[in-house]
Structure 1
Amino acid sequence: MAVVLSDAAQTKPNDIAIRDSSRSLNWRELNSTINRLVNNLKPRDLGSNRRIAVYAENSVETALAHMGALHAGLSSVPVNFHLNAEEAAYILNDSGTRLLFTGPENLARAVDAVAQLPNPIPIVVWRVDGVLPAGVESLEALLASSSDAEPADDVPPRPNMLYTSGTTGFPKGVDLPPTMFAGGKNIAEHVAVLGANRFAALGVHLVVGPMYHTGPLSGVRILATGTPVVILEKFDPERTLAAIQESKAASSVMVPTHFKRMLDLPADVREKYDVSSMKMLSHTGAKCPVDVKKRMIEWFGPVFVDAYGATEVGTVCSITSEDWLTHPGSV
């Protein structure tokens, strides 16, 4: 795919690129998979917006769907996997989505949601055995029937469309703002700009939050730079500490609630795990209580970056641990 992935496939083919609790892909496999997905997606009639949606819990495949869209020059819409069929259908229709990716946990709701659309759209699902409902195709079969030839990186990149909570009863769709979108005339330039991301050079990135949120979804863009990514299906305080130790995770994006739940673990549990690999832990979503932040800095060290922003505008400002310690409570 993009030169970064194809280079990684050549220089470190057997190193793990991405994994969750039940599946992993090395760089050679990831490059081949993304090539196949892009070669399948690019010729499809996806409308003028060139938009797909991902309605799925955290998994390797969730990241693949978003990453395939990125490299195919498509706009992907992360749909909250807690939404019911009617709520999901609203987002699919409002966004102009023309293809839906979903996981096994959400397949029934995805089928119901698509049935409510004025014009039904195809669904792609993964890790489901047996006969699939009408209009649903298997990701595994899709990949097996697609070419893994390196596609051209000549299409312009498109931003994700993200949905806010809305103020009139319905979510509002907004394109990933310029402050968060790397831009570039084509995918090759886009990925090159992504390489300047401060997370990219640190090492393994750990995703702990749901990937329908901007912060956790950034793991896809980090993966595109050739940085390995580990995905937790859902946040668990001890499992997170174990994942940091096992993968030697160097970066992550969390929220203050995650910090509080880790701090609430018994001291002997917290002390079992080595978190010294962590070099940058960005947190957002809410203001972090002063006592929680101080205790986290004492535990992990001054590796925290507090980011303040919103879906519509991206990150507005941020503060490092060092600056925060001189002005506790700052955002």
Structure 2
Amino acid sequence: MPSIRDHLVTLSDTVGALRVLQSSGALDFRRPREVAAAVKRNATIGAPAAIVRHGAEKHPDAPAITDEHGTISFAELDRNSNAVANELIAAGLSTGDVVGILARDHRGLVTVLSAAGRAGLRLAMLNTGFGATQLGEVVERENIAAVLYDEEFTDLIDTLPAELPRYLTWVDGDRAVPEGVKTLQAIVADGNSSSPPDPKQWAGLVILTSGTTGLPKGARRGKVSPFTTALLLDRIPFPQQGTMVIVSPIFHSTGFALWGVGTALGNHTVVMRRFDAEKTLAALSEHRAEMLVAVPTMLHRMIALGPEVFAKYDLSALKVIVIAGSALSPTLSEAVQDAFGDVLYNLYGSTEVAVASVAQPHELRLAPGTVGRAPVSSHLRLYDENDRPISGSNVRGRLFVRNGAPFEGYTDGRTKQVIDGYMSTGDMARFDEHGLMFIEGRDDDMIVSGGENVYPLEVENLLAEHPEVADVAVVGVEDDEFGTRLRAFIVRAPDAEPQVDEIKHHVRSHLARYKVPRDVVFVEDLPRNPTGKLVRRLLPTGPLD
């Protein structure tokens, strides 16, 4: 049973979150009828549909989204959403049915995000990096009743049961549209764009985890709490009725959440189906964008373009770069702020715990690579291997989070470990003397080599500082003498030829001898998923030739 202290903390969190929502302009409590209407919409058609409808009412002619086909307004996006919702209802899909979407970032994806809620359907957001086996298993596990997909994924979709209804969300024109398959373009051009009757309750979303250790799990979201919005707005200064460029995938939790909050504030979102470093700079310049949403690997490729390329583009409007999805090395943290100015915000969270912490630019200057501090209503705690709380500076522990956006469990019925109301993130962390948090790697990444505990991320961050290293991954492999040893996979910097002994000496000069990789393997690139996370299980851990 919650204690008096728990109730006081909840009250304090609520007041703090409401204050953030009011001051940011997300909600105006001086207009209680509008707030009540927003709450009702969120409960019936869901946040994605509600924010699109709100935008159409408040600024119908303002640009909502720009992609390779051009720009559409909030009013157009609202009508298109209605047309797609009416089509899905007419096709016989029932309230609560699950539909899946396999699409890159473009107008079709956000149209379906909005349309599914209006039709009373639960939307499963599928990963564009899926193989046929993964896709088939997820479609079966989530009981997906229809699938919407981009043309480039046709061969992948063709591995699914033939009787599964399907719709095309983006057509490149490289092949004929299959018989009986409708395109979103045709639906929005000829369909019924009147608003369908609101369902009694939002059917929710399924956002998949990254799947870096196996089959992605489905994380249910049957409601989107206002606390989720406050978690982002508390430490990140979003523009209002400005422009955002989002190159982080919207099918994943970070891109989705930032698109949602930004759109709720009336912002114009610029997206592209495939990331290109220089085209991203060009988009920031052309649209005078105030915010960029990306993952660290994307920023690494942008920095690699060099000062001469940067000088071609006017980036003076850019005030905020938000990154998440994978670890930010101290080296990249400094390089980004040197190139773009002190505009970097490092967001740490997960599909399960939502937003846990955010590092602001001044904190990243003070402690490069930090994930910062907890926003309003987020609480962080470290536990040891025996589930006992840990305190003190620079003491490593298992990170647990409690906040106002509770996890509803995986779609297969499992959930995360919870201690005293705090949920496990699966990461190791520490707090420095300034109270800033650092992620030390996954709790299951730790290896024991010769009786010593080693966390590969520490070695990775050090090697990332080497001027001849473009990308790096460090993993543990079996060793007859030490039990486990470190193996480093190195992507060389352009025109560089680092040697094995040089790499080992760099680590030996800064860290304990037992942290020096016994193996150094040079590779062309590292396996990363669409959100930029390293897929360690795809790195070879067997004997080297």
1:137 aligns with 2:179: no
1:122 paired residue number = 165
Contact 1:194 1:225 (C-alpha < 8 Å) held by counterparts: no
Distance in 1, matches of 2:276 and 2:212, equals 31
1:182 aligns with 2:224: yes
1:211 paired residue number = 250
Alpha-carbon spacing, 1:27–1:74, altered in 2? closer, same or farther (3 Å): same
1:62 paired residue number = 109
Shift of 1:92: 1.2
Identity %: 26
1:146 paired residue number = 191
Distance in 2, matches of 1:270 and 1:167, equals 33
Distance in 2, matches of 1:6 and 1:98, equals 26
Contact 1:63 1:220 (C-alpha < 8 Å) held by counterparts: no
Shift of 1:168: 7.4
Larger strand proportion of the pair: 2
Q: SS at 2:129's partner residue? A: coil
Shift of 1:202: 6.3
Q: Tell me which amino acid in the other structure corresponds to 1:215.
A: T
Q: SS at 1:149's partner residue? A: coil
Q: SS at 1:205's partner residue? A: strand
2:324 paired residue number = 284
Q: SS at 1:113's partner residue? A: coil
Distance in 2, matches of 1:44 and 1:217, equals 27
Q: SS at 1:212's partner residue? A: coil
Paired residues for 1:304-315 under 5 Å? 304-315=344-355
Shift of 1:195: 9.6
Q: SS at 1:98's partner residue? A: strand
Contact 2:249 2:255 (C-alpha < 8 Å) held by counterparts: yes
* Aligned with residue 238 of structure 1, among 257, 261, 278: 278
* Aligned with residue 134 of structure 2, among 84, 87, 97: 87
Shift of 1:134: 4.8
Contact 1:86 1:113 (C-alpha < 8 Å) held by counterparts: no
Shift of 1:225: 4.9
Paired residues for 1:192-231 under 5 Å? 198=233, 199=238, 201=240, 203-218=242-257, 220-221=259-260, 222-223=262-263, 225-231=265-271
Alpha-carbon spacing, 1:3–1:168, altered in 2? closer, same or farther (3 Å): closer
Q: Tell me which amino acid in the other structure corresponds to 1:84.
A: G
Distance in 1, matches of 2:118 and 2:317, equals 30
Q: SS at 2:87's partner residue? A: helix
Alpha-carbon spacing, 1:49–1:31, altered in 2? closer, same or farther (3 Å): closer
2:68 paired residue number = 21
Q: Tell me which amino acid in the other structure corresponds to 1:96.
A: N
Moved more, 317-326 or 161-170: 161-170
Contact 2:118 2:196 (C-alpha < 8 Å) held by counterparts: no
Alpha-carbon spacing, 1:245–1:89, altered in 2? closer, same or farther (3 Å): same
Shift of 1:169: 4.1
TM-score by length of 1: 0.82
Distance in 2, matches of 1:13 and 1:174, equals 33
* Aligned with residue 320 of structure 1, among 360, 363, 379: 360
Alpha-carbon spacing, 1:302–1:234, altered in 2? closer, same or farther (3 Å): same
String of CA shifts for 1:115-166, please: whole Å, max 9, x gaps: 3xxxx32101143768643552222333344322234555433442122255
Alpha-carbon spacing, 1:174–1:324, altered in 2? closer, same or farther (3 Å): same
* Residue ranges of structure 1 left out of the alignment (5+ in a row): 185-189
2:152 paired residue number = 105
Q: Tell me which amino acid in the other structure corresponds to 1:61.
A: G
Shift of 1:267: 1.2
Q: Tell me which amino acid in the other structure corresponds to 1:78.
A: M
Alpha-carbon spacing, 1:71–1:301, altered in 2? closer, same or farther (3 Å): farther
Shift of 1:197: 5.9
Contact 1:308 1:318 (C-alpha < 8 Å) held by counterparts: yes
TM-score by length of 2: 0.52
Shift of 1:253: 2.0
Contact 1:73 1:156 (C-alpha < 8 Å) held by counterparts: yes
Distance in 1, matches of 2:346 and 2:366, equals 14
Shift of 1:201: 2.5
Contact 1:55 1:110 (C-alpha < 8 Å) held by counterparts: no
Contact 2:66 2:107 (C-alpha < 8 Å) held by counterparts: yes
1:296 aligns with 2:336: yes
Q: Tell me which amino acid in the other structure corresponds to 1:121.
A: L
Contact 2:231 2:355 (C-alpha < 8 Å) held by counterparts: no
Q: Tell me which amino acid in the other structure corresponds to 1:287.
A: A
Distance in 2, matches of 1:128 and 1:239, equals 19
Alpha-carbon spacing, 1:200–1:76, altered in 2? closer, same or farther (3 Å): farther
Distance in 2, matches of 1:194 and 1:38, equals 26
Contact 2:147 2:165 (C-alpha < 8 Å) held by counterparts: yes
Contact 1:78 1:211 (C-alpha < 8 Å) held by counterparts: no
Distance in 2, matches of 1:217 and 1:306, equals 16
Distance in 2, matches of 1:27 and 1:7, equals 9
Question: Larger C-alpha radius of gyration, 1 or 2?
Answer: 2
Distance in 2, matches of 1:50 and 1:141, equals 23
Alpha-carbon spacing, 1:226–1:319, altered in 2? closer, same or farther (3 Å): same
Shift of 1:242: 0.7
Distance in 2, matches of 1:48 and 1:34, equals 17
* Residue ranges of structure 2 left out of the alignment (5+ in a row): 1-44, 372-545
Q: Tell me which amino acid in the other structure corresponds to 1:82.
A: G
Q: Tell me which amino acid in the other structure corresponds to 1:201.
A: Q
